[in-house]
Amino acid sequence: MTTAILADPVLADSGLTDFASKFGQVIAALAIFLGVLGLIFFAAGRATGRLSRPLAVLVFLGPAVLLLLIGLVIPAVRTIYLSLKSDDSSRFVGVKNYDWAFTTSTIHQVLINTAEWIVVAPLLATGLGLAVALLVDRLKRQALYKSLIFMPMAISFVGASIIWKFVYDARDPSQPQVGLLSQVVIALGWSHPPNWILSHPLNNFLLMVILIWTQTGFAMVVLSAAIKAIPNEIVEAARMDGARGRRLLVWVTIPMIRSTLIVVLATVMITTLKIFDIVRTMTGGNFGTQVLANEMYSQSFTEFNYGRGSALAVILFVAVLPLVGYNIVQLRKERSTK
Amino acid sequence: MSSVGAVEAVTAESTRDEPPAKLVRRTFSNPIASTLIIVLTILWTVPTFGLLVTSFRPAEQVATTGWWTAFVHPTLTLSNYHTVLFVGGYGVSNGLLPYVINSLAITIPGTVFPLVIASMAAYALAWVKFKGSDIVFFTIFALQVVPLQMALIPLLQLYSGGAHIGSVAVIPNLHLTGTYWPLWLSHTMFAMPLAVFLLHNFIAQLPRELMEAAQVDGAGHFKIFRTIVLPLAAPAIASFAIFQFLWVWNDLLVGLTFAGGTPAVAPLIARLNQLSGSYGSHWELLTAGAFISMLVPLAVFFALQRYFVRGLLAGSVKG
């Protein structure tokens, strides 16, 4: 890439100026942040006696609490409030926005799609992750397989969507294909494959493949750690009793990792509910693929229907609530037993 | 290939019970299973590989033939990267370079700010005794239930016009629109619940004697935090830093909402999302752009996989 910059002095120059000014902003922001913090630490550190402890609590905890209030608590309350008002927030409309969400046929489709996503994608991702975690251990070079299956986790949903949009590219069957999927099915003898992304309801599942592709590695890593943490004695005892193969799996391994399995499932479900990037990049919500999180975004920031957008955000919140709640309870339980 | 072994190394750390794990392993052993894993790995890798190959092929070949034919007649070029970084083309007015810089400019403070503020909060909650610290900790932890979508509209109004109660300005309009500040602030706010939770778990387990010894020597909380807590908590901070770095770099929701699409502040991922429409079927450019956006996260991932996995296992609930 450096050769390209050198080849074009004008571009290189404007790029450098841009870089210098933006980099300057970052350095300035970091310097101000750390400088202010240093000053406060210095000043508050000199305080002694009865004031010193309340002051320490204020300085250490204050910024985090303030940010959480401004960034999450107050906005959440305001969103609930906005969801009861009209789209331009000028008057109260009661539950009209919620009524709209549950009775409009387009939103019906959105809710059905979202429900399909929550059921199919987390189950497949967790199931595949579990299968890999169980099977990969006795292969040579297992670390390589694990790394490659885990890798999509580092890729953004937008990047992943572009990767798969290319796989799903479809041309007229008379022309040479560019998309891998069309090429493969034609080679297998299906002479007129459909235009994948346009065919509803298949396209919903093709979009889910992208999420499954990124989340299987996550499930694999967490479940693999759980399987390895199963105590010695239990597996040995089961083997003494004659448990082998599938029976050992069904009666010992799965029950022992049950709580981890559910936490993984719930975590992927939360990710799925809030999925937005994939649909936005692949179809923009067209062709019958719209989901809740993206519809909320379109209502709020494309059509500026703040009332409706807020109502959809509240519905999302209510759907996520039990899942996150479950995870929090589980995690606290684990901490307290350690 | 030490980085490739990292997942294995870390997951093996959680137990020293090798023999039964091997028993389980042998019990499920059969060639069909091995074949399944190999097929799955190939399925998981080929799409990314196709993207990489396409990004190096000349435009006219990409438009007419599949990337797999590149192995028969290999013609490779860097011109797609030149176009996509510096020129744009096909009605796209700018190259991606300013957006790459934006992503770095957003991600670095977007990682440093929440880490520092969350470490401070975690220390206060773990080691400064005060009434109600448990309740504060649990509340912060529980705030993970709030989806970011709920915060977008009110925060956007705050950044563009300040906050008012009636006609009294509680927070004045700071004219933050068009700067990096809305992005830095939002990422810091949204990272808080998980960051405080993870760092608290680690910082609370530091040895009590060390803290008490320092207090006997006359060190106050500020000195203890700087000289004892920060250095000792470095591994936990590092593993959350990787998490946060990847999260901010790969984010679309915050970038799209608070930056618009301008080359002045918009991050790479938000721009790429727009290009997926503008470039239409110019796959050679879109694939090159996508690969540029993946370079930094993949480098971080393969270099620091061990710490990334550790962070993942410590807190698999990102709200």
Query: For the segment A235-274, what is each residue's pLDDT rounded down to a tens digit?
Result: 888 888 877 777 888 888 888 888 889 889 988 998 898 8
DSSP B78-94: SHHHHIIIII-BTTB-S
Q: How far apart are CA A112 and CA A119, in angstroms?
A: 11
Q: Nearest-CA residue of chain B relative to A33?
A: B113
Q: How many CA atoms lie within 13 A of A177 on its CB side?
A: 22
> With bands split at pLDDT 50, 70 and 90, how would you rate the model's confidence at A1?
very low
> With bands split at pLDDT 50, 70 and 90, how would you rate the model's confidence at A13?
low
Query: Which one of A57, A141, A162 would you mutate to disrupt binding with B, by most B Cβ within 10 Å of its Cβ?
Result: A162
- The verdict on a CB contact (< 8 Å) between B27 and A245 is yes
Give pairs for A48-54: CB < 8 Å, separation 24+: A48/B220, A52/B220, A52/B221, A53/B128, A53/B129, A53/B130, A53/B221, A54/B130
- The verdict on a CB contact (< 8 Å) between B120 and A60 is yes
- The verdict on a CB contact (< 8 Å) between A221 and B313 is yes
Q: How far apart are CA B208 and CA B229, in angstroms?
A: 11
Asked whether B298 and B4 are in contact (CB, 8 A), the reply is no
- A165, A306, A83, A21: which is closest to B180 by C-alpha? A21
pLDDT of residue A181: 94
Asked whether A210 and A291 are in contact (CB, 8 A), the reply is no
Angle between helices A202-228 and A105-135 (to 10 degrees): 40
Asked whether B31 and A140 are in contact (CB, 8 A), the reply is no
Asked whether A277 and B257 are in contact (CB, 8 A), the reply is no
Q: Nearest-CA residue of chain A relative to B96?
A: A15
- B158, B238, B178: which is closest to B202 by C-alpha? B238
B89: β partners: B92
Contacts of A138 in chain B (CB under 8 A): 25-26, 28-29, 34
Query: Which one of A59, A128, A135 would you mutate to disrupt binding with B, by most B Cβ within 10 Å of its Cβ?
Result: A135
Q: A-B interface: how many C-beta pairs under 8 angstroms?
A: 398
Q: How far apart are CA B37 and CA A139, in angstroms?
A: 9
Phi, psi of A35 (to 5 degrees): -65, -50
Q: Which of A155, A229, A280 sits opposite B14 (nearest CB)?
A: A229
Q: Is B16 strand, coil or helix?
A: coil
- For the cut 80, the answer to whether the pLDDT of residue A65 exceeds it is yes
> With bands split at pLDDT 50, 70 and 90, how would you rate the model's confidence at B6?
very low
State whether residue A65 sits within 8 Å of chain B by CB. Answer: yes
Q: What is the dihedral of CA A289, B145, B272, A156, to 10 degrees?
A: -100
State whether residue B186 sits within 8 Å of chain A by CB. Answer: yes
Q: How far apart are CA B238 and CA B220, in angstroms?
A: 25
Lowest pLDDT segment from B122-131, B151-160, B252-261, B309-318: B309-318
- Which of B 41-70 lie inside 8 A of A, CB atoms? 41, 44-48, 50-51, 54, 62-68
Q: How many CA atoms lie within 13 A of A136 on its CB side?
A: 31
- The verdict on a CB contact (< 8 Å) between B66 and A180 is yes
pLDDT of residue A335: 64
- For the cut 90, the answer to whether the pLDDT of residue B161 exceeds it is no
- Please state the ipTM of this predicted complex: 0.87
pLDDT of residue B24: 54
Residue A60 to chain B, least CA–CA distance (Å): 5
pLDDT of residue B3: 42
Residue A90 to chain B, least CA–CA distance (Å): 14
> With bands split at pLDDT 50, 70 and 90, how would you rate the model's confidence at A12?
low
- The verdict on a CB contact (< 8 Å) between B149 and A150 is no
Q: How far apart are CA A159 and CA B52, in angstroms?
A: 12
DSSP A229-287: TS-HHHHHHHHHTT--HHHHIIIIIHHHTHHHHHHHHHHHHHHHHT--HHHHHHTTTTT
Q: How far apart are CA A119 and CA B173, in angstroms?
A: 44
Asked whether A228 and B12 are in contact (CB, 8 A), the reply is yes
- For the cut 60, the answer to whether the pLDDT of residue B41 exceeds it is yes
Q: How far apart are CA A257 and CA B249, in angstroms?
A: 33
Q: What sign does the dihedral A92-A95-A99-A100 (CA atoms) show?
A: positive
* Across B48-77, average pLDDT: 88
Contacts of B282 in chain A (CB under 8 A): none
pLDDT of residue B2: 39
Amino acid at A154: A
As given in the structure block, the two tokens for residue A78 are 């305001």
Q: Is the peptide bond before A201 cis (omega within 30 degrees of 0)?
A: yes
Q: What sign does the dihedral B175-B110-A2-B74 (CA atoms) show?
A: negative
Distance in Å from the first CA to the final CA of chain A: 51
Amino acid at B117: I
State whether residue B267 sits within 8 Å of chain A by CB. Answer: no
Asked whether B214 and B228 are in contact (CB, 8 A), the reply is yes
State whether residue A214 sits within 8 Å of chain B by CB. Answer: no
Q: What is the pTM of this model?
A: 0.87
Cβ neighbour number for residue B283 with a 10 Å cutoff: 26
Angle between helices A105-135 and A258-273 (to 10 degrees): 140
Residue B221 to chain A, least CA–CA distance (Å): 7
Widest distance between CA atoms in chain B? 76
B169: β partners: B164
